[in-house]
Amino acid sequence: MLNLKSPMVVVSNRLPFVLKRNENGELQRKQSAGGLVTAVAPVVIQCGGLWVGWPGIHMDDPHQSVPESDPGDMGPSAGLKSEQVVPVHVEEQLFDDYYNGCCNATFWPLFHSMPDRAVFVADMWEVRMEFGLVRSAACLILSAFDCSMLGLGLAIVNMSLPRGQSYSTVNVMFAYQTVDALKKMKMKNQEGEERIPLVWIHDYHLMLAANYIRQECEEQNLQCKLGFFLHIPFPPWDIFRLFPWDNEVLQGILGNDLVGFHIEDYCRNFLDCCQRRLGCRVDRVHNLVDVAGRTVKVRALPIGIPYKRFEEMANAAPRALQSSQQIVLGVDRLDYTKGLVNRIRSFERFLEKHPEYLGKVALLQVAVPSRTDVKEYQQLKEQMDLEIGRINGRFSTLNWSPIRYIYGCISQDELAAYYRDSSVALVTPLRDGMNLVAKEYVACQVDKPGVLILSPFAGAGETMHEALLVNPYELDDVADTLHRALTMPIDEREMRMYHLKKREQTMNVDFWLTSFLKVSIKTFPGHNVIGVH
């Protein structure tokens, strides 16, 4: 556990929990189970920090206070008091334009090197708004939620902004709530030595926020240091340059003092874009960018998982797969980046090439619903349904179907049991920032070990060397590698899994958090860590 002297302000698209209304209409917290929350929330609690984010619900009365956690709540953010939570209330249409428009229709496919799927709206970033104008637009919207923090007495205004301006405006709204939190934090810490807070911004939703925070802090004589971590890939120059307003994104990210990516490839891509698009001086040996008289540090910091928690769940979970058949497991959000159609076609190719496995092996594919209101995702689900129906219709017998398909959410305990009981994990995204499924599978290998097949186009492929790497675009390659995995001798399986487990146990999510904060200490002299326990 890290013991920080300086407070930390985490800024993410969502809070570490979402707010829901119970049957009586009262607000309640619903915990999020992600690795970020598991690692970071306890540190925010310990250092008396703050968490800024959207509460997951559009509230008629944004002044309604965030409830404390339920007394029986044992989740990682349960100890986060309501006074440590800074909700950012965004009007529903504006949030939809920002989140489903800019973030997921443009940045998500572009940063995953699928520009043909990206939507570039003509007026998205065309109207170039100076910071003061963007701030004014944000204030007009914030007025509906009380702009008292800015000292403005404005009437409620309904505004319709182009999506690019929606992205900028929401980033400003997050920035202003962050600055307001920093002001309150400064007032609270008037007595004694002033400690410079670390503001840690997360992911592609908030790539412009740092610049706005920096400018406002300079105007209001506030001190803070800014860090950013991107949880998805950063694309190479020839892809990134397709975005017509790429310079604004780069300048926004460079508003931070420390920028973190999962792997070195993403760091190199970012440095290349800064040099070629902005003309920045870059140091490729030490991963530094000079901009506006400042030096921005860029680091590869691969995220891990809460290893011990998954290991404990795997040890405790009852057996989930009773069949004597060998199970090949896939677990993914239903997303076009995950290569699901390629995967099931590869399994079909495997059955064609190795008919001796008919009736003896099945693919269990868990697809978690995602962005179900988006047409492209609806079409992907329809395609999956058709392909699985076709393959099952072709090969099924009275007692066996080659593909078992679960479309829905499953519990963490059930997931751990599937991981543990599967002979092979097939993790074959077309592109992925890291992919934690591969790491979770390894953590759950507590009995006779299985085999991990992994795409090199996932960030995890850079460090998980003992996995069998396979190109998800080559169906025959996947089929042949699957056969190799199913016939691998036990001693080789044990050797590969031993090294995978050892690495993931060490480089877990706490290691990732510690690594970021240790780099931040060297970057920001005002931050000190007493110790790591």
pLDDT tens across 396-418, in order? Answer: 999 999 999 999 999 999 999 99
Per-residue pLDDT at 23? 79
**Nearest alpha carbon to residue 43 among 79, 88, 86:** 79
Q: Which residue has the higher pLDDT, 135 or 477?
A: 477
State the burial class of residue 484 (Cβ atoms within 10 Å of its Cβ: 0-12, 13-18, 19+).
Answer: middle
Contact status, residue 439 vs residue 460, Cβ threshold 8 Å: yes
DSSP category for residue 64? S
**Residue 77 to residues 16, 17, 229, Cα–Cα distance (Å):** 7, 8, 20
Which of 245, 246, 251, 240 shows the shortest CA–CA distance to 211?
Answer: 251
- What's the token pair of residue 258? 């420390």
Q: Give 184 or 140, the one with higher predicted confidence.
A: 184
Question: First CA to last CA across the chain, in angstroms?
Answer: 5
- Over residues 217-248, the pLDDT tens digits come to 999 999 999 999 999 999 999 999 999 889 99
Q: What share of the chain is helix, strand, coil (3-state, %, to 5)?
A: 45, 20, 35
pLDDT for the residue numbered 252: 97
What are the structure tokens assigned to 340, written together?
């699901």
CATH code of the region 307-506: 3.40.50.2000
Number of residues written out for the chain: 533
Q: How far apart are CA 442 and CA 466, in angstroms?
A: 11
| Residue 32 confidence class, pLDDT cut points 50, 70, 90 | confident
pLDDT at 147 over 70: no
307 token code pair: 């290893």
Distance CA 393, CA 387 (A): 10
- Whether 143 shows a pLDDT value over 60: the answer reads no
Yes or no: domain 87-304+511-532 corresponds to CATH 3.40.50.970? no
Tokens of 241: 């340059």
Instruction: Let me know if the fold of 87-304+511-532 is the same as that of 307-506.
Output: yes
Q: pLDDT tens across 466-525, in order?
A: 999 999 999 999 999 999 999 999 999 999 999 999 999 999 999 999 999 999 877 765
Rounded to 5 degrees, φ, ψ at 32 are: -95, 145
State the angle between helix axes of 375-395 and 340-353 in degrees (0 to 180), rounded to the nearest 10: 10
Q: Are 261 and 270 in contact (CB under 8 A)?
A: yes
Rg over CA atoms, the chain: 24
- Measured distance CA(321)–CA(518) in Å, rounded: 43
Is pLDDT at 140 greater than 70 in this prediction? no
Helices marked H in 127-243 — which ranges?
131-142, 163-188, 209-219, 237-240
Type and span of the H or E element at 111? helix 108-111
Domain boundaries, the chain: 7-86, 87-304+511-532, 307-506
Give the sign of the dihedral formed by CA 245, CA 172, CA 153, CA 56.
Answer: positive
pLDDT band at 151 (very low <50, low <70, confident <90, very high): very low
Q: What is the pLDDT of residue 3?
A: 63
The string of pLDDT tens digits covering residues 343-378 is 999 999 999 999 999 999 999 999 999 999 899 999
